[in-house]
Amino acid sequence: MSKLYKLRPKDVTQLKSFLEMKGKWAKEQETAVTKVKKQVVSLVLLVAFDPEKELLLQCDASPYGIGAVLAHNDLQDLECPIAYCSHSLALAEKR
Protein backbone atom coordinates (compact mmCIF):
# COMPACT_ATOMS: atom_id res chain seq x y z
CA MET A 1 0.00 0.00 0.00
CA SER A 2 2.86 2.38 0.69
CA LYS A 3 3.69 2.40 -3.04
CA LEU A 4 0.13 3.40 -3.88
CA TYR A 5 -0.17 5.73 -0.87
CA LYS A 6 2.94 7.61 -1.99
CA LEU A 7 1.30 8.34 -5.36
CA ARG A 8 -1.85 9.83 -3.84
CA PRO A 9 -2.74 13.37 -4.92
CA LYS A 10 -1.64 16.10 -2.53
CA ASP A 11 -4.52 18.39 -3.49
CA VAL A 12 -7.73 16.54 -4.32
CA THR A 13 -9.41 19.76 -5.45
CA GLN A 14 -7.16 19.75 -8.52
CA LEU A 15 -8.80 16.50 -9.57
CA LYS A 16 -12.34 17.94 -9.53
CA SER A 17 -11.94 19.26 -13.07
CA PHE A 18 -11.91 15.65 -14.28
CA LEU A 19 -15.41 15.02 -12.95
CA GLU A 20 -17.06 17.07 -15.71
CA MET A 21 -14.96 15.66 -18.55
CA LYS A 22 -16.67 13.70 -21.29
CA GLY A 23 -14.99 10.61 -22.59
CA LYS A 24 -15.45 7.04 -23.64
CA TRP A 25 -15.37 4.00 -21.41
CA ALA A 26 -14.01 1.09 -23.38
CA LYS A 27 -12.37 -2.26 -22.71
CA GLU A 28 -9.01 -0.54 -22.13
CA GLN A 29 -10.39 1.63 -19.31
CA GLU A 30 -12.22 -1.31 -17.74
CA THR A 31 -9.02 -3.38 -17.78
CA ALA A 32 -7.06 -0.54 -16.14
CA VAL A 33 -9.62 -0.14 -13.34
CA THR A 34 -9.70 -3.89 -12.72
CA LYS A 35 -5.89 -3.96 -12.52
CA VAL A 36 -5.82 -1.11 -9.98
CA LYS A 37 -8.51 -2.81 -7.87
CA LYS A 38 -6.50 -6.04 -7.77
CA GLN A 39 -3.33 -4.18 -6.76
CA VAL A 40 -5.09 -2.29 -3.99
CA VAL A 41 -6.59 -5.38 -2.36
CA SER A 42 -3.33 -7.34 -2.68
CA LEU A 43 -1.21 -4.76 -0.85
CA VAL A 44 -0.58 -4.61 2.89
CA LEU A 45 -3.04 -1.95 3.94
CA LEU A 46 -1.81 -0.93 7.39
CA VAL A 47 1.40 -1.01 9.38
CA ALA A 48 1.77 -1.32 13.13
CA PHE A 49 2.06 1.84 15.21
CA ASP A 50 5.62 2.60 16.32
CA PRO A 51 5.74 5.02 19.28
CA GLU A 52 9.34 5.93 18.39
CA LYS A 53 8.36 7.44 15.02
CA GLU A 54 6.84 10.83 14.27
CA LEU A 55 3.14 10.72 13.35
CA LEU A 56 1.68 12.29 10.23
CA LEU A 57 -2.00 13.22 10.00
CA GLN A 58 -3.55 14.09 6.65
CA CYS A 59 -7.17 15.18 6.39
CA ASP A 60 -9.46 16.02 3.50
CA ALA A 61 -13.05 17.17 3.23
CA SER A 62 -15.62 17.80 0.54
CA PRO A 63 -19.26 18.84 0.60
CA TYR A 64 -20.13 15.12 0.75
CA GLY A 65 -17.67 13.57 3.18
CA ILE A 66 -14.54 13.77 5.30
CA GLY A 67 -11.53 11.51 5.61
CA ALA A 68 -8.16 11.18 7.29
CA VAL A 69 -5.04 9.02 7.28
CA LEU A 70 -2.73 8.56 10.26
CA ALA A 71 0.74 7.45 9.15
CA HIS A 72 4.45 7.52 9.85
CA ASN A 73 7.55 7.14 7.69
CA ASP A 74 9.27 3.80 7.26
CA LEU A 75 13.02 3.19 6.97
CA GLN A 76 12.99 4.27 3.31
CA ASP A 77 11.17 7.50 4.23
CA LEU A 78 7.90 6.36 2.63
CA GLU A 79 4.67 7.28 4.38
CA CYS A 80 3.02 4.13 5.73
CA PRO A 81 -0.60 4.30 6.88
CA ILE A 82 -1.45 3.21 10.42
CA ALA A 83 -5.18 3.97 10.26
CA TYR A 84 -7.80 5.34 7.89
CA CYS A 85 -11.14 6.93 8.64
CA SER A 86 -13.88 8.38 6.48
CA HIS A 87 -17.42 9.57 6.91
CA SER A 88 -20.16 10.38 4.42
CA LEU A 89 -21.97 13.48 5.58
CA ALA A 90 -25.66 13.32 6.42
CA LEU A 91 -27.97 15.98 5.04
CA ALA A 92 -27.86 17.99 8.29
CA GLU A 93 -24.04 17.80 8.36
CA LYS A 94 -23.80 19.13 4.80
CA ARG A 95 -25.42 22.43 5.82
Classify residue 19: in a domain, yes or no. Answer: no
Please, what's the b/e burial string for 18-30 (b: 16 or more CB within 10 A of its CB; e: otherwise)?
Answer: eeeeeeeeeeeee
Q: Please report the beta strands in the chain, taking only residues with DSSP state E, as ranges in sequence order.
A: 56-61, 65-73, 79-88
Q: How many CB atoms lie within 10 A of CB 71?
A: 22
Classify residue 34: in a domain, yes or no. Answer: yes
What's the CATH number where 78 sits? 3.10.20
Enter the pTM of the model: 0.54
Classify residue 18: in a domain, yes or no. Answer: no
Classify residue 17: in a domain, yes or no. Answer: no
Classify residue 16: in a domain, yes or no. Answer: no
Give the pLDDT of the chain (95 residues) as one tens digit per residue.
Answer: 455 555 566 666 666 666 666 777 888 888 888 888 887 776 667 889 999 999 999 999 999 999 999 999 888 888 889 999 999 999 999 98
Classify residue 48: in a domain, yes or no. Answer: yes
Number of folded domains in the chain? 1
User: Rounded distance, CA 85 to CA 23, Å?
Assistant: 32
Q: How many CB atoms lie within 10 A of CB 81?
A: 19
- The number of CA neighbours under 13 Å toward the Cβ of 25 is 4
Phi/psi of residue 58, nearest 5 degrees = -120, 130
Q: Which domain holds residue 73?
A: 2-10+24-94
